[in-house]
């Protein structure tokens, strides 16, 4: 790679972005003014609200009735401000002069008070309720929590009533010759906060700053990522760029670093703006005469250094990710639509900094976005673990490299860069314009994946909760029928989409070899991931067991083995694989199908095992040219699991290596060797029988 060429491309891309004055304003100038505007705007609004609340007059209605012992005292407190004195001064009511008794009526009841409150004729209503079990009178304050004035008036009334209650308690105690303080407060409760000013400040920043950094980096990289990918397609300048004597890798690296540089600049400007705002607030507090303990900013220098490093590596990751998504779009508008779901996911994940008791351990340090938020939160709370810090930074760099490598594949595919009509969603076209035959598009596949996942998550979960095994069968019917109805409506070829073609006997044998080899390797993967995520492993096992419990062997075998072997294969290795093969290279298509299949099972522990199985099944369909060997593989894999569930003693006695709860080192080595040999034999036999035709 020629670094001078990359440097020139970066300059060219930066100039292209900077020429757009609106983009410069949004990315560079707005961060400097947005926080002062937010601060002063919020302060102005809050001050206006508080001033308005303190100047308002609140109307109160009070029911009169026999036994209303505190009626006069309450009227006195409200109208004459004759507030009773007590030994407890911690709950003195303020602004009592804002209350005004507008009605005292013996005939008023709950219904009348309800209507008056809803009509906002009054703000609160005090009525006598029935006595409690100790024969004490109950005085109830009725208000409407959805109306601010009503809530405020109710709070003022509660202050008065609590004060009256305290005064009455003290009177009764004194009448019995005792000291109210010793009776009502026999012990003095005090607390002392030993957190330093730096710790308190760091804790506050640790909750707010990560989210702001994530949003600023996301907003800073979004525009240049779209502009350098989908924007060039829309302007028609990408073709010119590709004709230059530069490699695709140099183009990608130039665009990637351009987006990353702008994202970093935007994030650093956000940090600068927040720092200036913080300094101004400290000066403002000092100017008002409020004395506070000074903050030693020197203690935050290590945190600032690590935060800047976190900004740098996260900028690399988010830049590559947004470019990967935007590269699939044909226009700026379409790219915005694609990136919106990612934006929501990133922002929701960023809220993890607000959640208490979530630690940044080795597992969480590998979770994108969340690891950066928790890292910044930890270091601002002066929690330094160099191994965790290194893991977070390195993992983000690795994710960025993987995303750039994927981006390279995108730029090597003319079908993706210059859409050839293979990505649209056919469902949204007029059926009369649809032509018969062919397979679904990638747009159809991704749309079906989203719809199917939502149906399985919501409808499938509800069915399983209510019907147990019947609900599992209902979920499998959803997976079977959704793609089938899609194909019928869009007039696609069922035979070509589902690969309903004859397969050689040797393909079935090869599929079984690969299937059992994958199953043995999958056991090792499951043991490994279960040790990393024990809680998730237990939850997944309990969920599956509860759904299948209480049913006979053959019913369970049919629902858990036969139905998935048909429905899931027709969807994942039929509909989705056929669509992906049409647009992506076969390796990319198989990997995508594997990942989607792993995500579909919605378990961290089961993801890698099911993804491995999904890749093996897709490989079998590709090499055999038929879906039927993959169906047999899927049935055998699930069938063995059902047999283990119903006949565990058989496996313990005859196949102990599959019945062990914890694998020994020797058993793990045997499983690895056996799985590798069987999988390799299956793949070799499949390749030998490969027809060399597109399914």
Query: In this predicted model, what pLDDT tens digit does every residue of 580-614 receive, in sequence order?
Result: 988 788 888 999 999 999 888 877 778 889 999 99
pLDDT at 535 over 70: no
pLDDT at 328 over 70: yes
Query: Among candidates 477, 476, 498, which has minimal Cα distance to 627?
Result: 498
Q: What CA–CA distances, in Å, run from 138 to 60, 63, 130, 131, 334?
A: 18, 13, 6, 6, 63
- In angstroms, the CA 21 to CA 27 distance is 10
Q: Which of 3-12, 186-195, 318-327 has the lowest mean pLDDT?
A: 3-12
The average pLDDT across 62-88 equals: 68
Q: pLDDT for 624-641, tens place per residue?
A: 999 999 999 999 999 998
Which range of 14-18, 45-49, 572-576 scores highest in mean pLDDT? It is 572-576
Q: pLDDT for 361-390, tens place per residue?
A: 877 888 888 888 889 888 888 888 888 899
pTM of the model: 0.62
Question: Which pLDDT belongs to residue 91?
Answer: 41
Question: Which pLDDT belongs to residue 327?
Answer: 80
Query: Among candidates 369, 284, 360, 364, which has minimal Cα distance to 318?
Result: 369
Question: Which pLDDT belongs to residue 695?
Answer: 42
Residue in this structure with the two tokens 């003319």, named with its chain if needed: 414
Angle between helical axes of 505-532 and 534-548 (0-180°, round to 10)? 130
The answer for residues whose C-beta is within 8 angstroms of residue 31's C-beta and 6 or more apart is 216, 220, 266, 269, 270, 273
Distance of CA 352 to the CA centre of its chain: 9
| DSSP for residue 321 | H
Question: Which pLDDT belongs to residue 85?
Answer: 62
Question: Which pLDDT belongs to residue 349?
Answer: 82
Beta strand pairing call for 58-63 and 138-142:
unpaired
Question: Which pLDDT belongs to residue 140?
Answer: 84
Per the CB < 8 A criterion, the answer to whether 471 and 548 are in contact is no
The average pLDDT across 309-324 equals: 87
pLDDT at 491 over 80: yes
Who has greater pLDDT, 428 or 687? Answer: 687
- In angstroms, the CA 628 to CA 330 distance is 37
CB atoms closer than 10 angstroms to residue 505? 9
Q: pLDDT for 76-126, tens place per residue?
A: 777 666 666 655 544 444 556 678 888 776 666 777 888 888 888 889 988
Question: Which pLDDT belongs to residue 96?
Answer: 60
**Taking phi first (over 0 means left), then psi (-120 to 50 degrees means alpha), and beta for anything else, what does residue 128 get?**
beta
pLDDT class for 27, splitting at 50, 70, 90? low
Question: Which pLDDT belongs to residue 89?
Answer: 47
């Amino acid at each position: 790679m020629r670094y001078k060429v990359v440097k020139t491309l970066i300059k060219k891309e930066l100039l292209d972005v900077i020429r757009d004055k609106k983009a410069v304003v949004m990315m560079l100038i707005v961060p400097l003014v947005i926080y002062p505007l937010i601060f002063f705007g919020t302060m102005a609004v809050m001050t206006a609200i508080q001033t308005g609340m303190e100047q308002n007059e609140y109307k109160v209605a009070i029911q009169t009735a026999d036994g209303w012992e505190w009626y006069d005292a309450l009227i006195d407190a409200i109208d004459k401000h004759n507030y009773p004195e007590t030994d407890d001064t911690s709950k003195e009511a303020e602004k009592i002069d804002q209350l005004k008794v507008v009605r005292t009526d013996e005939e008023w009841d709950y219904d009348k008070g309800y209507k008056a409150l809803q009509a906002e004729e009054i703000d609160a209503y005090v009525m006598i309720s029935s006595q409690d079990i100790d024969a004490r009178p109950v005085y109830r304050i009725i208000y409407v929590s959805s109306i601010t004035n009503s809530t405020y008036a109710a709070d003022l009334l509660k202050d008065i009533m609590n004060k009256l209650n305290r005064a009455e308690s003290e009177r009764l105690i004194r009448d019995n010759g005792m000291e109210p303080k010793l009776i009502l407060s026999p012990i003095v409760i005090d607390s002392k906060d030993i957190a330093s000013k730096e710790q308190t400040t760091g804790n506050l920043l640790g909750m707010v700053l990560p989210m702001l950094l994530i949003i600023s980096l996301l907003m800073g990289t979004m525009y240049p990522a779209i502009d350098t990918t989908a924007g060039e397609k829309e302007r028609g300048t990408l073709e010119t760029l590709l004709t230059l004597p530069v490699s695709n890798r140099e183009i990608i690296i130039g665009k990637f670093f351009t987006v990353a540089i702008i994202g970093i600049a935007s994030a650093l400007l956000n940090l600068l703006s927040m720092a200036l705002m913080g300094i101004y607030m400290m000066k403002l507090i000092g100017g008002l005469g409020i004395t506070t303990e000074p903050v030693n900013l020197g203690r935050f220098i290590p945190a600032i250094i690590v935060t800047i490093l976190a900004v740098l590596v996260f900028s690399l990751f988010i830049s590559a990710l947004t470019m990967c998504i935007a590269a699939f779009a044909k226009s700026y508008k379409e790219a915005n639509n694609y990136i919106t779901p990612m934006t929501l996911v990133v922002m929701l994940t960023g809220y993890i900094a607000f959640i208490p008791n979530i630690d940044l351990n080795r597992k969480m340090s590998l979770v994108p976005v969340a690891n950066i938020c928790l890292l910044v939160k930890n270091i601002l709370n002066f929690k330094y673990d160099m191994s965790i810090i290194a893991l977070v930074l390195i993992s983000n760099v690795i994710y960025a490299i993987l995303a750039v490598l994927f981006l390279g594949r995108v730029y090597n595919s003319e079908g993706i860069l210059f859409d050839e009509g293979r990505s649209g969603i056919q469902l949204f076209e007029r059926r009369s314009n649809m032509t018969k035959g062919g397979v679904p598009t990638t747009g159809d596949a991704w749309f079906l994946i989203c719809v199917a996942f939502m149906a399985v998550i919501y409808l499938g979960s509800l069915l399983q909760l209510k019907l147990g095994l019947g609900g599992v069968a209902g979920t499998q019917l959803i997976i079977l029928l959704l793609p089938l109805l899609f194909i019928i409506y869009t007039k696609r070829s069922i035979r070509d989409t589902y690969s309903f073609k004859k397969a050689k006997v040797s393909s079935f044998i090869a599929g079984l070899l690969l299937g059992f080899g994958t199953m043995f390797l999958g056991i090792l993967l499951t043991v490994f991931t279960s040790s990393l995520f024990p809680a998730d492993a237990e939850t997944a096992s309990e969920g599956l067991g509860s759904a299948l419990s209480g049913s006979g062997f053959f019913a369970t075998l049919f629902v858990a083995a036969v139905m998935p072997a048909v429905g899931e294969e027709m969807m994942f290795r039929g509909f989705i694989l056929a669509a992906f093969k049409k647009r992506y290279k076969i390796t990319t298509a198989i990997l995508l199908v594997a990942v989607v299949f792993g995500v579909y099972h919605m378990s961290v522990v089961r993801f890698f095992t099911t993804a491995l199985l999904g890749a093996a099944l897709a490989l079998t369909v590709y090499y055999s040219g038929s879906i039927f060997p993959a169906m047999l593989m899927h049935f055998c894999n699930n069938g063995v699991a059902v047999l283990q569930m119903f006949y565990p003693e058989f496996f313990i006695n005859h196949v102990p290596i599959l019945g062990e709860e914890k694998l020994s080192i020797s058993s793990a080595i045997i499983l690895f060797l056996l799985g590798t040999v069987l999988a390799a034999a299956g793949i070799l036999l499949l390749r030998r029988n490969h027809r060399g035709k597109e399914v």
